Chains A and B, each alone.
Chain A
Amino acid sequence: MSARTLFDKVWTAHEVVPESVDTPAVLYIDLHLIHEVTSPQAFSVLKSLDLRVRRPDRTLATMDHSTPTVTEQVFGKIPIKLDAAAKQVRQLESNAAEFGVELFDMRDARRGIVHVISPELGCTQPGMTIVCGDSHTSTHGAFGALAFGIGTTEVGHVFATQCLLQRKPKTFAVNVEGELRPGVTAKDLILHIIGRIGVSGGTGHVLEYRGSTIRALSMDERMTICNMSIEAGARAGMIAPDETTFEYLKAKPRAPQGVEWDAALPRWRALCTDPDARFDASVDIDASTLEPMITYGTNPGMVMPLGGAIPRISGNAVYDKALGYMGFHGGEVMLGKPVDVVFIGSCTNGRLEDLKAAASILKGRKVAAGVRLLIVPGSQQVKRDAESLGLAQIFKDAGADWRESGCSMCLGMNGDTVGAGQYSVSTSNRNFEGRQGVGARTLLVSPMTAAATAVQGRIADPREFL
């Protein structure tokens, strides 16, 4: 058999019917994650056609997007402030009960952001196909799974058949070599990659992140990388599973146990791309020279080294509009600019290692006067871990607002928003206009840069705190 990529191997193993000129492939889905925002209309379709969820055992539901992060609202001491969000939560509860889908509801200790909880429970495993009505499903590719976001119509397809109709995407190798310098993180690397290939550079492709830099990353870091594949327009992002992956999964409650674990390991080890396999596209990245990165515009591709100046581009109306929205102009230096809000969290950077990185800078320091620091764990498990490790106390002592888990301020639909015109330095994934609230101005950074900025009240270089 000819040499194959990681993607090819996972794809082929899930072809129920291969694609033809006239019809897409019927692709089997191993794990279907759902949440309250993109599932209601799909359940409605099932009801209208009198269908069941075909494989509830391969379906897992949580609540994260529209849910509040304020403790009293989460645990029902006071009502959820947003009526429409409360209705969505109730709807998912009734749909899950009616269709027999396992749901981590508001009070469940396993609840959290869908892309944080599935890996931490061990539901996300190498070689799987995983979908969710959410574009950041690409996160799960960190385990060597083929994981991608789908629309609500497709959520209905998976409910009814456990399959999707898909054309086979192309492959794209992102080769990363060299050691990241202190203070430079996985977030900085992925921002650099997006800047390099562009926000539509990955369209129609599945990225495979490869090379010594990627192999040296932890699972939390790999998830940060794969999470933002969609910001380069890619269908998915993948990383070959290795000992780091297996070590992470080993003790997870829903990972294979005993003989099943022993049987899974050789299968997982065989997934990596064959030495002579060819990709449809590739890019080479030197990680050893990277600096902390920050976005200056209104898409994640408008990104620059933290210590640099905003590029000057003349005669580009889109660039002018983006900088006008941000209140910036070409040539301005980013360091030292005052900020209003700092947000640490999201499916990109809401895991324990992210919080540890932030805490390493916030320990014994205070948030600058006039700055709001909101820290939201990616899951209730991350919250408990951060509390038992003393990180939460460090955050509270610094003056941060420490919340229950959820998508929170990554997208302004749950009550956590940035005000119009305010500058928000955020560890999330999108700096689109209005993403964090109407008129909000978002600058994407790593957790370390976010923490350093919160302390100084101005955009700051985390390396000064190391």
Chain B
Amino acid sequence: MEPLQRVHSKTVVIGSTNVDTDQIIPARFLTTTTKDGLGKQLFADWRYLADGAPNPAFILNRPEAAGCQVLVAGRNFGCGSSREHAPWALLDYGIRAVISTEIADIFKSNALKNGLLPVTVGDATARWLLENPGAEVDIDLAAARLTLPDGTATSFPIEAFARHCLLHGIDELGYLRSKLDVIESYEAARRW
């Protein structure tokens, strides 16, 4: 995995609360056996009309969304299924960070393992971001700090080991495999 230090981008806002993984990528696209190319199916049922044409009312189809790497979302983003296809689709589309007041557990775990930054912020920061789409924000992973256009900085919680792995491009599997001798001892010592 590539090291990830910082995301600096304008924001795109999807303000709905409880955006579930079936919206991020509907189940009918999960019959794939690879991770590739899922970006075109991101938010498919909101992004495309019944005839397959882009829905001009949906934010990702508007010119101001082009190139935005930071998605600002309503509370409880990524709830629902454990499909890792959701962060894969967001990353393939070009999103590198999601900001919300609450991000669902499994989605957050999946995001961190793929270099998509889950950034949880307080109500006031979230409200400002939701009301100011297109704001240019800076996310500094090493400092776990989100900076708004006016220079206001706010820290965000991020699991220490996941941050370490992201900053240095370390694959968690390598770390787990380095523990194989301890795992074998555990298995040998178990009495059931």
Measured CB to CB, the residues of A under 8 A from B are 16-17, 21-24, 26, 28, 37-38, 40-41, 44-45, 49, 65-66, 82, 84-85, 87-88, 91, 133-135, 137, 149-154, 156-157, 160-165, 167, 199-200, 203-204, 230, 233, 235, 263-264, 267, 299, 301, 317-318, 321, 411-413, 420, 430, 432-435, 438-439
Contact = CB atoms under 8 A, between A and B. Distances in A.
B31 A199 contact: no
A135 B82 contact: yes
Nearest to A82: B31
A135 B84 contact: no
B57 interface: no
Interface in B134-192: 159-161, 164, 172-173, 175-177, 179-180, 182-183, 186-187, 192
A16 B183 contact: yes
A153 B23 CA distance: 21
B2 to A, nearest CB: 15
10 contacts: A87-B33, A88-B31, A135-B106, A153-B110, A153-B172, A161-B177, A162-B183, A200-B102, A412-B27, A434-B45
Contacts of A16: 179, 182-183, 186
A167 B157 CA distance: 14
B54 interface: no
Given A150-B82, A200-B102, 15 more contacts: A16-B182, A28-B186, A28-B187, A41-B35, A87-B33, A134-B81, A135-B80, A137-B82, A151-B110, A152-B110, A162-B183, A165-B161, A200-B75, A200-B76, A413-B31
A23 B182 contact: no
Given A135-B81, A165-B176, A233-B104, A24 B22 contact: no
Contact of A430 (B76, B80, B161, B173): B80
A26 B186 CA distance: 11
Interface in B92-112: 102, 104-106, 109-110
Contacts of B83: 37-38, 151
B161 A23 contact: yes
B28 A432 contact: no
Contact of A203 (B31, B76, B187): B76
Nearest to B114: A153
A40 B18 CA distance: 28
A318 B27 contact: no
